[in-house]
Amino acid sequence: MEERIKESLILLLDGIKRADGEAIASGMARVEDLLGQGRGSLHPQLVHFLDNRSYPKALMFLGGDAGIPAGSCGGRS
């Protein structure tokens, strides 16, 4: 599941870079669908990032990056 989310996030963020509205909409729908399917088995930090649409942070988390900055919620990775 995490690999599918990671692939979807990469495509979504690429769509955002290209300002491709259709790619953004379909990418967000795909990520939301995967989150809905896997919510109970995913790491709570990943769920937090996805719920808050912190897609770059979610991708960093999935890549094993330990340097994820705290957001406005003040949380720690």
**Within-domain flag for 75:** no
Tens digit of each residue's pLDDT (9 = 90 or more) over 8-53? 999 999 999 999 999 999 999 999 999 999 999 999 999 999 999 9
**Within-domain flag for 34:** yes
**Within-domain flag for 8:** yes
Residues 6 or more apart whose Cβ sits within 8 Å of residue 5: 31, 34, 35, 38, 42, 46, 50, 58, 62
pLDDT: which is higher, 74 or 51: 51
> How many domains is the chain partitioned into structurally?
1
| Full-model pTM | 0.85
Residue 35, number of CB atoms within 10 A of its CB:
19
Range of the domain at 42: 2-62
* CA–CA gap between residue 65 and residue 59 (Å, rounded): 9
